[in-house]
Amino acid sequence: MFLLKPTYTIEELLGRCRAGERKAQELLYNQLASKMLGVCMRYTNNRTEAEDMLQNGFIKVFKNINDYRGEGAFEGWVRRIMVHTSIEYYRKHYRIIQPMDIANAGIEPAVEATAITNLDVKDLMNVIQQLTPGYRMVFNLYAIEGYSHKEVAAMMGITEGTSKSQLSRARTILKELVTKMEGKTYGNAG
């Protein structure tokens, strides 16, 4: 004989969370925490920092849960909170002038489509985490979250031109890293 764990929909849990029920908050956290930590991990190269972002993000979620009016998916709302928490973390800890690597600027290596598609998500995480914080932020916001340069500029407190140039530089570095990684993979295989 085994016990079936009761399952709740997000809507049910939301209602109970709004009433401040701690158990419902925990169930909601358990449903979304792993995915949200996956988001936070892209914004830093440090697991502890990512968990700090996750913790602060969920505290905001529970404190402001009445602000969610049911417009759009709840998961999307939580994800946006995680992204904004990560930006706050970056602005607090890493916001320094990022000098451009002039020597390599404008030289964009070619990367084969198969090279990147063959890579595991953990490898992609590894290359993203090798970016400097500024490049990583812009690449995440524009390429993965889907914000426009105008939105990225507003969120980061930079100009649109800086957003564009940082994205371009981030892509160049990532392509270099992917190519190197693929060579290593093939080298190990061969």
Q: How far is the CB of 182 from other proteins (least distance, A)?
A: 12
Q: Pick the binder of other proteins from 25, 31, 126, 130 (CB under 8 A).
A: 25
Q: Is 13 in the site for other proteins (CB under 8 A)?
A: no
Q: Is 34 in the site for other proteins (CB under 8 A)?
A: yes
Q: Is 188 in the site for other proteins (CB under 8 A)?
A: no
In the 8-state DSSP scheme, what is residue 119?
S
Q: Is 42 in the site for other proteins (CB under 8 A)?
A: yes
Q: Is 66 in the site for other proteins (CB under 8 A)?
A: no
Task: State which H helix or E strand residue 165 sits in.
Answer: helix 160-189
Please give the Cα distance from 85 to 91 (Å, whole number).
Answer: 10
Please give the Cα distance from 36 to 40 (Å, whole number).
Answer: 6
Please give the Cα distance from 17 to 178 (Å, whole number).
Answer: 43
Q: Is 136 in the site for other proteins (CB under 8 A)?
A: no
Contacts of 44 by beta carbon, 8 Å cutoff, 6+ apart: 50, 53, 86, 89, 129, 133
Q: Pick the binder of other proteins from 100, 105, 144, 154 (CB under 8 A).
A: 144
Chain contacts with other proteins (rule: CB under 8 A): 22, 25-26, 29, 33-35, 37-38, 41-42, 50-51, 54-55, 58-59, 62-63, 110-113, 116-117, 119, 121, 124-125, 128, 142-144, 146, 171, 174-175
